[in-house]
Structure 1
Amino acid sequence: MIKITADDIFDGRKFHGPDRALVLDEHATVSALVPRSWVGEDFVKVDGILCPGFINTHCHLELSHMKGSVPEGTGLPAFLTAVMENRTPPAADVLHSAIDAAAEAMRQEGTVAVGDIANTAATVSVKRRTAHQTEWHTFVECMGVADAFAPQRLEHSMAVLAQFRQAQLPAALVPHAPYSVSPTLFRLINGLKSNGTISIHNQESAAENELFRHKTGPFLQFYRHFNMDASSIGGTASNSLPAFIPYFDQGQTMLLVHNTFTNRQDVEAALAREGETYWCLCPNANLYIEGMLPDVDMLLEMPGVTITLGTDSLASNHQLSIWREIETLRGKFPHIPLETMLQWATLNGAMALGIDDRFGSFEKGKTPGVVQITGNTSRILDPKSLFA
Structure 2
Amino acid sequence: MTQPIKLSGKDLFNGRQLLGPDKVLILDKSGRVADIVDKNEAGGDIQELDGILSPGFVNTHCHLELSHMKGMIPEKTGLPAFLTAVMTRRGAPSPDTDAQLAAAETAMWEQGISAVGDICNGTATLPQKQQGRLYYHSFIECMGFIDAAAGQRFEQSLAVYRQFQETISPQHRCSLAPHAPYSVSATLFGLLAGLENNTPLTIHNQESEAENILYRQKTGPFLEFYEHFGMDISGFSAGHASSLQACLPYLSGSPLLLVHNTFSAEADMLAAQERALPVYWCLCPLANLYIEDRLPDIDLLRRTGCTVALGTDSLASNHQLSIWAEIQAIRERYPEIPLAELLQWATFNGAQALGIGDRYGSFEQGMQPGVVVIGEAGVTRVV
Task: Return the TM-score normalized by structure 2.
Answer: 0.97
2:250 aligned residue (244, 247, 260): 247
1:291 aligned residue (286, 293, 311): 293
Give the equivalent residue in structure 2 for 1:120: 122
Give 2:166's aligned amino acid. Answer: Q
Determine if the alignment matches structure 1 residue 225 to structure 2 residue 228.
Answer: yes
1:1-388 maps to which residues of 2 (within 5 A)? Answer: 1-91=4-94, 93-129=95-131, 131=132, 133-168=133-168, 169-233=172-236, 235-250=238-253, 252-303=254-305, 305-382=306-383
1:297-330 deviation per Cα after TM superposition (whole angstroms, max 9, x unaligned): 0010113x11000000000000000000000000
Instruction: State the shift of 1:234 in Å.
Output: 5.1
Q: Secondary structure at the match of 1:246?
A: helix
Say whether the 8 Å CA contact 1:259–1:281 is kept in structure 2: yes
Give 1:151's aligned amino acid. Answer: G
Q: Closer, same or farther in 2 for the Cα pair 1:248/1:9, shift >3 Å? A: same
Say whether the 8 Å CA contact 1:146–1:231 is kept in structure 2: no
Unaligned runs of 5+ in 1: 383-388
Q: Secondary structure at the match of 2:315?
A: coil
1:266-312 deviation per Cα after TM superposition (whole angstroms, max 9, x unaligned): 01111122211000000000000000000000010113x11000000
Instruction: State the shift of 1:39 in Å.
Output: 1.2
Instruction: State the shift of 1:217 in Å.
Output: 0.3
Instruction: State the shift of 1:380 in Å.
Output: 1.4
Q: Closer, same or farther in 2 for the Cα pair 1:264/1:77, shift >3 Å? A: same
**Whole-Å separation in 1 of the counterparts to 2:377 and 2:78:** 29
Percent of pairs with identical residues: 54
Say whether the 8 Å CA contact 2:177–2:192 is kept in structure 1: yes
1:10-33 deviation per Cα after TM superposition (whole angstroms, max 9, x unaligned): 000000111110000111110111
Say whether the 8 Å CA contact 1:55–1:309 is kept in structure 2: yes
Say whether the 8 Å CA contact 2:201–2:251 is kept in structure 1: no
**Whole-Å separation in 2 of the counterparts to 1:232 and 1:160:** 28
Q: Closer, same or farther in 2 for the Cα pair 1:330/1:233, shift >3 Å? A: farther
**Whole-Å separation in 2 of the counterparts to 1:353 and 1:301:** 23
1:98-134 deviation per Cα after TM superposition (whole angstroms, max 9, x unaligned): 11100111011100000000001000000001x1x21
Q: Closer, same or farther in 2 for the Cα pair 1:216/1:358, shift >3 Å? A: same
Unaligned runs of 5+ in 2: none
**Whole-Å separation in 1 of the counterparts to 2:86 and 2:232:** 20
Say whether the 8 Å CA contact 2:115–2:134 is kept in structure 1: yes
- Count of equivalent residues: 377
1:329-361 deviation per Cα after TM superposition (whole angstroms, max 9, x unaligned): 000100000100000000000000010001100
**Whole-Å separation in 1 of the counterparts to 2:330 and 2:252:** 33
Q: Secondary structure at the match of 2:96?
A: helix
Say whether the 8 Å CA contact 1:8–1:48 is kept in structure 2: yes
**Whole-Å separation in 1 of the counterparts to 2:56 and 2:341:** 15
**Whole-Å separation in 1 of the counterparts to 2:236 and 2:20:** 52
